[in-house]
Amino acid sequence: MMAPARRRTARADQVFVTLMLAPSLLILAAFYLYPMASNVWFSLTDLSLMKLRQGGAYIGLANYADALGGADFWRVVWNTAFWLTAVSVVVRLVLGMALALLLNSAALLRLRLRTLMRLALLVPWATPPIVAVAVWRWLLHPQAGGINRALLWLGLTRHPIAFLADTATVWPAIVLIMVWNTVPVATLTLLAALQSVPRELSEAAALDGAGSVRIFRHVTLPHIMPTIMILAMLMTFWTFNNFVYVWLATGAGPGRYTDVLATEVYLRGFVDFNLGSSAAIGVIMAVAMGTFGLLYVRVLGRRVAS
């Protein structure tokens, strides 16, 4: 008697699951899967922005061969992997950790500064990246910017520095903008993790005679490691694919000195009109991030499970 009824509810539940998932999956298919598939096709053609109507002719892997064979491409890869991603993620994690420890310190609470600091952290975080870039372009302005004025006043430099136009300073300047804008996410996430470390653990370690550095290394750090890993992964995705910081701060300049993969896709497609070769770079980018993501999930999954 029960079996048919149960089968009916199972069927009904299947319909329920399908209907609930359908809207998201359809939108994602239309806006991720379809563009990705057509990008793979474009990357095998010589499609040009000027001759969209004719479409492109199939040219095999020529776009990939061109891209991978050019010295410029590897410079762009280096810019993206090292400056845009590695440096900025590490700086944010280290600075975020330092600020989280500061916020978590008993002294800050005693000085009644913790709430003020928390609120202050919200300001850069709530600032849209487009605004962060605009403001820092002003602060780094050679004539009127506050940074140059301070450096001149302190006598640290004789002449104003055009931070975003000088190859020696442009990458640190872009990293500075990203760090200012996003260090609060790292800080507040790490602070929440620090506050979840059971107090008994560090107290027990202190009773055993461990100093604060050793407690941090052997008690606190292992406990918050999963959070650090997740944070590192999220920030890597957010930065590696990012277009606006570099594009709005320097337009990939001076020259193409700060060109990264995202701006390279844009430049090839919408400045050089070469949609085929732009699509090839895009496919390389997507494959790189997809591989990184799957690897990371695998490693992270194992670590969290054990």
Partner 1 sequence: MRLRARIGDGAILLTAAATLGFLLYPAVVVFSGSMQTNETLFARNRFDLTWDNYRHIFDAGFGTYLSNSLAICLAATLAATVVSVMAAYVFSRRRFRWRRVLLTAVVAGQWFPWIVLVTPLFILFARTGLTNSYSGMILCYTAISIPFSVYLLLGYLETVPRELDEAAMVDGCTPLGALWHVVLPVMLPGVVATATYAFLLCWTEYLLALAFLTQPAMKTLPLGLYQFFGEDTTDWGAVMAGSAVTTLPALLLFLPLQRWLVSGLTAGSVKQ
Site for partner 1 in 75-114 (CB under 8 A): 99, 102, 105, 107-108, 110-111, 113
C-alpha 271/C-alpha 275 separation (Å) is 10
Candidates 57, 68, 94, 130: give the one binding partner 1 (CB under 8 A): 130
Q: Considering the complex, state which of residue 57 and residue 204 has its C-beta at the smaller distance from partner 1.
A: 57
Report which secondary-structure segment, H or E, holds 261. helix 261-266
Residues 237-276 interacting with partner 1 (rule: CB under 8 A):
237, 240-241, 243-244, 247-248, 261-262, 265-266, 269-270, 275
Q: Considering the complex, state which of residue 118 and residue 218 has its C-beta at the smaller distance from partner 1.
A: 118
State the nearest-atom distance from the C-beta of 167 to partner 1, in Å: 21
Q: Considering the complex, state which of residue 176 and residue 204 has its C-beta at the smaller distance from partner 1.
A: 176
Contacts of 236 (CB under 8 A, 6+ apart): 85, 89, 292
Candidates 65, 120, 295, 299: give the one binding partner 1 (CB under 8 A): 120
Strand partners, 48: 274
Candidates 65, 116, 225, 271: give the one binding partner 1 (CB under 8 A): 116
- Write the binding mask 12 to 41 for partner 1: x where contact by CB under 8 A, - elsewhere: -xx-xx--xx-xxx-xx-xxx-xxx-xx--
The DSSP output letter for 253 is -
DSSP line for 120-142: HHHHHHHS-HHHHHHHHHHHT-T
Q: Quick check: 57 binds partner 1 (CB under 8 A)? A: no
Say if CB 300 and CB 233 are below 8 A apart.
yes
* The two structure tokens encoding residue 213: 């550095």
State the nearest-atom distance from the C-beta of 127 to partner 1, in Å: 5
Rounded (5°) CA angle 81-85-87: 100
C-alpha 98/C-alpha 295 separation (Å) is 28
Say if CB 140 and CB 157 are below 8 A apart.
no
Q: Quick check: 48 binds partner 1 (CB under 8 A)? A: no
* The two structure tokens encoding residue 188: 């507040």
Residues 153-192 interacting with partner 1 (rule: CB under 8 A):
180, 184-185, 188-189, 191-192
Stretch that binds partner 1, among 11-19, 60-68, 165-173, 205-213 (CB under 8 A): 11-19
Q: Considering the complex, state which of residue 115 and residue 204 has its C-beta at the smaller distance from partner 1.
A: 115
State the nearest-atom distance from the C-beta of 99 to partner 1, in Å: 6
Quick one: angle between helices 170-195 and 88-104, nearest 10? 40
Residues 190-229 interacting with partner 1 (rule: CB under 8 A):
191-193, 226-227
Candidates 8, 11, 52, 272: give the one binding partner 1 (CB under 8 A): 52
C-alpha 25/C-alpha 220 separation (Å) is 40
Strand partners, 45: 58
